[in-house]
């Protein structure tokens, strides 16, 4: 290992030269001098050449070995030599270390900002104290300033709503899609607010949005030349919602077809299943009650908006009970149906069992393992035992769930 310069340890990648390190009452003090390229004048851009003066400033840095760390930094002041520039001298800043007017190094400020973000004001103040860089809570909270909002809209602007509090109050987040950065946040999701933002921040060439009409109205009015893009997430989300709805509506057809296929398939049943003796579950009883209540009220001429209020139900639930047959509702509420890892294999097991190929749980367990089953043999044993006694629901023709088809 070669010798490492102290600058590389304390200030990696930063243009300073360390002249002295000493321990003082206040902690470890490092005397350092800026040695980077002279700065450009912030007013006219002219590079500084002639040194006007030098002076020292003190910067608190992140602690070293558990002790406070102070940099006594010597910086230069340069003349601005451009005739007519209102600025006479330029003070140099050390990139990634010093900032104008700051008494903390850039790295320490970043630490404090993280502490303020994750811990908050008063607890943050105590944490900073114990980590050897004491500061006040107002200073910490003052570090939590939002980045400035750009004057022009980003070239590709993303717009979407978000919830301050779900179901209660919503806002709008505007994103610079190319930079993957939030550009601004609006207090609501109204078209008027977005319109005035677009007027104040021109320049968006493409705007990605969901299908909310408020945003498309705003775009038509305030940025008619921008190309509108339905964003990928919402496109897929809407597509999958439509597919799932269709599958739900056609589930009885799939079921019927699967049953027909099963019955017409030439196969002999050696182990007939006993008639199911499933005890009526609480869920099933509730389903029947709910079904009859809803249909009674419908028969009495109650409207679809009055029933949810009277029965304290969700409007969606009432619609589902109105549009679905009782059998289907019961099937989806029935207990005794294996959940989880075994479910994809129950129709295979039922088939093997009823055809009398084998009814030994050990064989069936081995066979479904070969087909990808990763669970233990216990669910297989209890399912087969249930088939024998009629206490589980035998799997009917395998009809995938709508959610599965949609995926």
Q: Does 49 bind Zn ion (CB under 5 A)?
A: no
Total residues belonging to the chain: 407
112 contacts: CB under 8 Å, gap ≥ 6: 104, 124, 128, 133, 135, 139, 140, 143
- Shortest reach from residue 55's CB to Zn ion, in Å: 20
Instruction: Using the rule CB under 5 A, give the single segment among 4-12, 43-51, 147-155, 297-305 that binds Zn ion.
Output: 43-51
Segment 70 to 129, residues that bind Zn ion, using CB under 5 A: 80, 82, 85, 87
- Shortest reach from residue 52's CB to Zn ion, in Å: 13
- Shortest reach from residue 54's CB to Zn ion, in Å: 20
HSE-CB of 63 using CA atoms within 13 angstroms: 14
CB nearer to Zn ion: pick between 87 and 315: 87
Q: Does 41 bind Zn ion (CB under 5 A)?
A: yes
Burial class (CB in 10 A: 0-12, 13-18, 19+), 151: exposed
How many CB atoms are closer than 10 A to CB 373? 21
CB nearer to Zn ion: pick between 43 and 238: 43
CB nearer to Zn ion: pick between 46 and 278: 46
CA distances from 348 to 16, 262, 297, 331, 397 (A): 74, 12, 42, 19, 10
CB nearer to Zn ion: pick between 78 and 197: 78
Q: Does 247 bind Zn ion (CB under 5 A)?
A: no
Q: Does 43 bind Zn ion (CB under 5 A)?
A: yes
Segment 312 to 341, residues that bind Zn ion, using CB under 5 A: none
Member of 44, 131, 258, 288 binding Zn ion (CB under 5 A): 44
CA distances from 21 to 3, 17, 102, 279, 345 (A): 18, 11, 22, 83, 72
- Shortest reach from residue 80's CB to Zn ion, in Å: 3
Q: Does 48 bind Zn ion (CB under 5 A)?
A: no
Q: What totals of helices (H) and strands (E) does the chain contain, helices first?
A: 16, 10
Are 16 and 35 contacting, i.e. CB atoms less than 8 angstroms apart? yes
- Shortest reach from residue 85's CB to Zn ion, in Å: 3
Positions touching Zn ion (CB under 5 A) are 41, 43-44, 46, 80, 82, 85, 87
């Amino acid at each position: 290992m070669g010798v490492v310069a102290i600058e590389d340890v304390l200030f990696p990648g930063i243009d300073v030269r360390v002249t002295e390190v000493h321990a003082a009452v206040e902690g470890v003090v490092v005397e350092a001098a800026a040695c980077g390229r002279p700065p450009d004048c912030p007013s006219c851009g002219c590079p500084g050449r002639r040194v006007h003066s030098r002076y020292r400033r003190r910067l608190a840095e992140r602690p070293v070995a558990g002790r406070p760390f102070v940099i006594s930094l010597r910086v230069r002041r340069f003349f601005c030599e451009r005739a007519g520039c209102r600025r006479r001298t330029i003070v140099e800043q050390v990139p990634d270390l010093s900032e104008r007017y700051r008494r903390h190094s850039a790295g320490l400020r970043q630490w404090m900002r993280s502490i303020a973000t994750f811990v908050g004001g008063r607890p943050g103040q105590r944490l900073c104290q114990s980590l050897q860089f004491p500061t006040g809570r107002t200073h910490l909270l003052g570090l939590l300033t939002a980045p400035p909002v750009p004057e022009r809209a980003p070239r590709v602007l993303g717009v979407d709503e978000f919830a301050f509090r779900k179901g209660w109050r919503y806002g709008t987040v505007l994103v610079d899609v190319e930079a993957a950065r939030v550009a601004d946040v609006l207090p609501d999701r109204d078209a008027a607010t977005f319109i005035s933002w677009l007027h104040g921040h021109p320049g968006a060439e493409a705007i990605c949005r969901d299908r909310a009409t408020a945003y498309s109205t705003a775009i038509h009015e305030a940025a008619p030349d921008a190309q509108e893009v339905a964003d990928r997430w919402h496109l897929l989300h809407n597509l999958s919602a439509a597919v799932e709805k269709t599958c739900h509506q056609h589930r009885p057809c799939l079921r019927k077809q699967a049953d027909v296929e099963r019955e017409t398939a030439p196969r002999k049943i050696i182990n007939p299943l006993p008639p199911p003796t499933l005890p009526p579950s609480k869920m099933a009883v509730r389903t029947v009650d709910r079904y009859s209540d809803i249909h009674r009220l419908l028969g009495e001429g109650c409207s679809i908006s009055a029933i949810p209020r009277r029965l304290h139900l969700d409007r969606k639930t009432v619609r589902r009970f109105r549009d679905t047959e009782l059998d289907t509702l019961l099937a989806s509420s029935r207990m005794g149906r294996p959940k989880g890892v075994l479910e994809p294999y129950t129709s295979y097991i039922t088939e093997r069992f009823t055809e009398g190929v084998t009814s030994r749980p050990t064989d069936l367990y081995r066979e479904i393992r070969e087909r990808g089953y990763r669970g233990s043999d216990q669910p297989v044993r209890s399912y087969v035992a249930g088939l024998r006694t009629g206490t589980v629901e035998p799997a009917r023709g395998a009809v995938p769930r709508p959610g599965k088809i949609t995926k």
